[in-house]
């Protein structure tokens, strides 16, 4: 079994990388919406802030660029892109011998660029190109991880972090648009629904399945249950189950609270969900359950691989 310190660092590196990419994309969509005079830029901004759980940024008197700059470059905001990348790099530095030079160099270069003294000025002058470069570099980092790291325990912990973070981020995005966090005002505007799909990097994949038929029910169905789309919740939870099963120690029975069993139940819940029931009752209950299950899986991962009692891992 890998050292707990190493597993923890790789797991959190994955979570922070996914968070940085998600916030960057949401900021990009919000800025693009502000350029479209036919769209509701304020609605896009509110959706973004709600989706990242941001309560400190006030919209009054601020432009979309101001809001995006805070989301990306605020060093005092623990959810900002710059803080997420700094934490991802610090975790990577602590396990430098576990990741390849290609992956480290890509992450380090991105960190140096976003923390450079001129970064704020560059963002102010060309925010969209700045965000596109950040997102592209994060894609390159993930590509380097996938194609240059051995697909052993370390890689699995990193991927666990990515997919668990992704599942919770998409749950939050759907909840803000259609669930309890929507405050009884689900997203009904056509352009806003298209922006939601863009925020999940899902517009083109969605259109290939449903053509131009964009409606809330189908959006929820696609982002919750599509087994082939890598940013759907079902896809993410299936990968979580897959990695946890591969990491499970043979002969070690952790009972019903074992992380791989929790992940298996969550994955099955999504595979066999009743779509008609969800359509009639709304997605709020399912979204809340998925979020709670993801939190339990996170706690179980810590209990099994990070903060575990040594006696439970010694042979009897």
pLDDT at 170: 96
Strand, helix or coil for residue 63 = coil
**155/46 same-domain check:** no
pLDDT at 184: 60
Higher-pLDDT residue of 256 and 221 is 221
**162/226 same-domain check:** yes
Average pLDDT over residues 189-215: 93
Write down which residue in 124, 148, 172 finishes a domain.
148
In this model, does residue 314 exceed pLDDT 70?
no
Rounded mean pLDDT of the chain? 89
**128/165 same-domain check:** no
Residue from 81, 67, 82, 72 nearest 34 by CA: 67
In this model, does residue 312 exceed pLDDT 50?
no
Write down which residue in 92, 127, 148 finishes a domain.
148
Q: 38-42, 75-79, 124-128, 256-260: which range is least confident on average?
A: 38-42
Question: Any idea what DSSP says for residue 228?
Answer: S
User: Structurally, how many domains does the chain consist of?
Assistant: 2
Write down which residue in 95, 118, 148 finishes a domain.
148
- What's the pLDDT band for 56 if we cut at 50, 70, 90? low
In the block, tokens 């993410």 appear at 236
The string of pLDDT tens digits covering residues 224-245 is 999 999 999 999 999 999 999 9
Q: Using an 8 Å Cβ cutoff, are 169 and 233 in contact?
A: no
pLDDT at 316: 39
- Which parts of the chain fold into alpha helices (H)? 4-35, 41-51, 64-73, 81-94, 101-114, 119-125, 127-148, 153-178, 190-199, 203-210, 216-225, 233-247, 259-271, 275-281, 284-301
**164/36 same-domain check:** no
**210/305 same-domain check:** yes
pLDDT at 250: 65
**126/157 same-domain check:** no
Q: Using an 8 Å Cβ cutoff, are 68 and 59 in contact?
A: no
Higher-pLDDT residue of 171 and 283 is 171
**24/128 same-domain check:** yes
In this model, does residue 275 exceed pLDDT 80?
no
Average pLDDT over residues 123-133: 96
pLDDT at 251: 54
Q: Which residues form the domain of 36?
A: 1-148
Percent pLDDT > 70 in the chain is: 91
**164/133 same-domain check:** no
Question: Any idea what DSSP says for residue 249?
Answer: P
**56/199 same-domain check:** no
**141/179 same-domain check:** no
The string of pLDDT tens digits covering residues 97-113 is 999 999 999 999 999 99
**135/158 same-domain check:** no
**142/222 same-domain check:** no
In this model, does residue 183 exceed pLDDT 80?
no
């Amino acid at each position: 079994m890998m050292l707990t310190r190493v597993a923890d660092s790789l797991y959190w590196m994955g979570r922070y990388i996914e968070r940085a990419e998600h916030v960057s994309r949401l900021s990009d969509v919000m800025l693009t919406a502000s350029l479209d005079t036919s769209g509701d830029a304020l609605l896009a901004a509110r959706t973004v802030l709600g989706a990242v759980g941001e309560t400190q940024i006030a919209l009054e008197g601020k432009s979309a660029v101001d809001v995006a700059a805070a989301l990306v470059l605020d060093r005092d905001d623990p959810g900002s892109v710059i803080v997420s990348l700094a934490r991802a790099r610090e975790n990577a530095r602590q396990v430098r011998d576990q990741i390849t030079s290609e992956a480290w160099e890509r992450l380090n270069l991105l960190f140096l660029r976003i923390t450079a003294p001129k970064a704020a000025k560059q963002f102010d002058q060309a925010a969209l190109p700045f965000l596109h470069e950040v997102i592209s570099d994060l894609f390159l980092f993930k590509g380097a991880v996938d194609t240059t790291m051995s697909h052993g325990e370390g890689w699995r912990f990193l991927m666990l972090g990515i997919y668990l973070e992704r599942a919770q981020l998409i749950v939050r995005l759907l909840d803000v648009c259609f669930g309890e966090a929507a405050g009884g005002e689900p997203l009904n505007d056509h352009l806003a629904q298209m922006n939601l799909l863009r925020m999940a990097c899902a517009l083109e994949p969605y259109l290939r399945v449903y053509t131009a038929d964009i409606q809330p029910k189908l959006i929820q169905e696609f982002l919750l249950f599509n087994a082939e789309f890598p940013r759907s919740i079902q896809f993410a939870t299936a990968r979580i189950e897959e990695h946890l099963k591969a990491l499970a120690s043979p002969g070690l029975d952790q009972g019903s609270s074992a992380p791989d069993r929790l992940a298996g139940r969550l994955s099955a819940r999504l595979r066999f969900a009743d779509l008609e029931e969800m359509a009639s009752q709304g997605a709020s209950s399912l979204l809340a359950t998925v979020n709670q299950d993801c939190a339990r899986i996170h706690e179980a991962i810590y209990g099994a691989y990070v903060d575990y009692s040594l006696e439970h891992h010694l042979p009897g």
